[in-house]
Amino acid sequence: MCSSDTGSGPLSRHPHTLAGLAAICGLAFVIYLALCDPVTSPAPRCWFNAMTGLQCPGCGSQRAIHAMLHGQIADAWHYNAALFFAVPLCILYAISPRRLRPMLYSPAALLAIAAAIAAWFIGRNL
């Protein structure tokens, strides 16, 4: 018999496990981008761009992170300026204190983020 209790999985009993795994994956990705140039390495390419010719909101992020890690801030901005706003926002969401979470996850905040992503997508493809 299936249980509909969503709070009974192994990750729900150890909430820091998922955060730790995400941090390890993120660190591995940053190390990879620090060592390998995404332009010349076999880094994954954007399937959306390959299929449509349009730049998705994340297009250029690998090159931007690589450039940032090598101190080329202007190049990073050119590759994907939204990354300069998205990374701090993701960090805020990851480490936000419990008292800030209702505001961060409010419909207004999530709608504002979705609108900013949509505006970035439209603006960079005009």
Mean pLDDT score of the chain: 88
Residues 16-60 have pLDDT tens digits of 787 788 889 989 988 988 888 888 888 788 999 999 999 999 999
Give the model's pLDDT for residue 76. 96
Query: Is this model's pTM higher than 0.85 or not?
Result: no
Say if residue 78's pLDDT is above 90. Answer: yes
- The secondary structure of the chain, three-state, reads CCCCCCCCCHHHHCHHHHHHHHHHHHHHHHHHHHHCCCCCCCCCCCHHHHHHCCCCCCCCHHHHHHHHHCCCHHHHHHHCCCHHHHHHHHHHHHHCCHHHHHHHCCHHHHHHHHHHHHHHHHHHCC
